[in-house]
Amino acid sequence: MPLSSELTLASSPRAAADARRWVGDVCERLERPDLVECAELGVSELVANAILHAAAPYKVRVRGTASHPRIEVVDGSPRPPVPPVPAEGDDLDLLLTFGRGLSMVAQCAVAWGATIESDGKIVWFEPAPEMTDAGSVEWVIDHHDHHAPEPTSEGAVDVRLLGVDVPLYSSLKRQYHELRRELRLLSLSHQSDYPLAGDLTSMFANFERQFPDSFRQQVIEAEARGLPRADLAFPMVREAGPIFVTMTEMFDVADAFCRAERLLSMARTPRQRALHNWLLTELIHQLDGAPAQPWDGSQSPSSSSTSRVG
């Protein structure tokens, strides 16, 4: 069952209780009552830590797969969480103590870690059927970094993407980010169960390396200015063409996995897929020497709403 909903939490003491009830309901909907206790204990601890040590906005959500649901707590601080220290003392005291760090999360999890981003972080765990006496699972730190060098002038092709639908591309970028992170975490924590996740993660990373920082900066600028359409221009190496041919097929494969509920990410919408296929086709054709063709989606570009960025 794909889960696209999330719970926004208030900056108050009741946030942990709200998250606990919501996560318990989600586990029941997934028909995983065996996970409810660890899910509720773990999310309570993560939310308490976020409220005490991080910054708003605070959110809790569920991602992963039906067999490996993952609970995530999002906050607005990019500072990495402090790794837990070995738990000491009476077990009952441990259960009754609130906000001690991440030791309890480690005891409640079969896998856990954090994704650090420029505007915040996501601390996540996969709840276990029962608590362990000591958290022995190593946590995973995933730094989301898209930086790529500009191609040298020698052998580079000047690519132009004309009339890009900026809001539609922004929604596609968010969908891609969720899918990319989903696959990366599966490859890190469940490689034996999902060997294809590691292969797709490597392919996606290679795909991202083909885009220079100037491309991303132009997109960010267009979003910040609220442009409905924008022309993007950037250099790209000719050898990237075959990579885009392969990735056109791989994105369709990923959509099929999402629709089959093997991932709890959402597949691309028809409009997102149309824009994505146009973008990839333009890159393939222009790297092969063809002239640029503008996006001719459902809204026709006009000279008054299209701006050259960069």
Tens digits of residue pLDDT in 10-32: 988 899 999 999 999 999 988 89
Q: In this structure, which long-range contacts are made by residues 18-21, counting pairs with CB atoms below 8 Å and at least 24 apart in sequence?
A: 19/43, 19/44, 19/47, 19/60, 19/73, 20/44
Q: What is the pLDDT of residue 304?
A: 38
**8, β-bridge pairs:** 59
CATH fold for the domain made of 6-143: Heat Shock Protein 90 (3.30.565)
Classify the C-alpha dihedral 24-90-103-64 as positive or negative.
negative
Percentage of the chain exceeding pLDDT 70: 79
**CA pair distance 309, 238, nearest whole angstrom:** 23
pTM for the predicted model, two decimal places: 0.69
Q: Is the pLDDT of residue 1 over 90?
A: no
Q: Is the pLDDT of residue 195 over 50?
A: yes
**CA pair distance 64, 50, nearest whole angstrom:** 21
- For strand 140-143 and strand 109-117, is the pairing parallel, antiparallel, or unpaired? parallel
Percentage of the chain exceeding pLDDT 90: 48
Q: What is the pLDDT of residue 63?
A: 83
Contact 186, 126 (CB under 8 A): no
Neighbours of 41 (CB within 10 A): 19
**CA pair distance 223, 230, nearest whole angstrom:** 9
Residue whose tokens read 């050259």: 308
Neighbours of 280 (CB within 10 A): 17
Q: Is the pLDDT of residue 99 over 50?
A: no
**7, β-bridge pairs:** 60
Angle of helix 270-287 relative to helix 241-259, nearest 10 degrees, comes to 170
Rounded to an integer, the average pLDDT of 226-249 is 95
List the chain domain ranges: 6-143, 156-308
Q: Is the pLDDT of residue 97 over 50?
A: no
Count of residues in the chain = 310
Q: Using pLDDT thresholds of 50, 70 and 90, give the confidence band for residue 153.
A: low
How many degrees, rounded to 5, is the angle at CA 275 between CA 270 and CA 280?
A: 125
Give the chain's end-to-end CA distance (angstroms, integer). Answer: 42
